[in-house]
Amino acid sequence: MITQQLTGADLFMAALSRRDLGAMGACLAPDVRFRALVPPGPFEAQGRAEVLARLERWFGGTDRFELLAASAYAIGPRMHLSWRVRMTGADSSRLVEQHAFVTAGERIESMDLLCSGWIAE
């Protein structure tokens, strides 16, 4: 029987699909480096708490969360992760698509992310 060790990137995608922010945070190395290009412009975050705060701002709250598409594959020593999410509130629905390149072993050590920005449906 062959078993494959799941990486932090694999576990992150599984946690995202469940909207499990605690598990998403557990996939991040304590000193994770996060760089993102989002509307209105680029930003950087350093450390698990700072990165998790950003993810909670995007995907937390009471709006309904729906993962519409997701993919993950290796590209050399890095992983390419992508996802499309719909968030639905009482009066509106919005979409976002994000693509990330991550360096990960047991946990994600770095993430470089490109975001479409939230788009009203």
Specify if 3 maps to a domain: no
pLDDT 10s digits, 42-86: 999 999 999 999 999 999 999 999 999 999 999 999 999 999 999
Ramachandran region of residue 115, left (φ > 0), alpha (ψ -120 to 50) or beta? beta
Specify if 81 maps to a domain: yes
Domain housing 20: 8-120
**Mean of all residue pLDDT scores within the chain:** 94
Specify if 24 maps to a domain: yes
Specify if 1 maps to a domain: no
Residue 12 belongs to domain with CATH number: 3.10.450.50
Report in angstroms the alpha-carbon separations of 32 from 6, 19, 27, 61, 90: 18, 20, 10, 24, 35
pTM to 2 decimal places: 0.91
Q: Which residue has the higher pLDDT, 7 or 43?
A: 43
Write down the residue that tokens 């709006």 correspond to. Answer: 63
How many structural domains does the chain have?
1
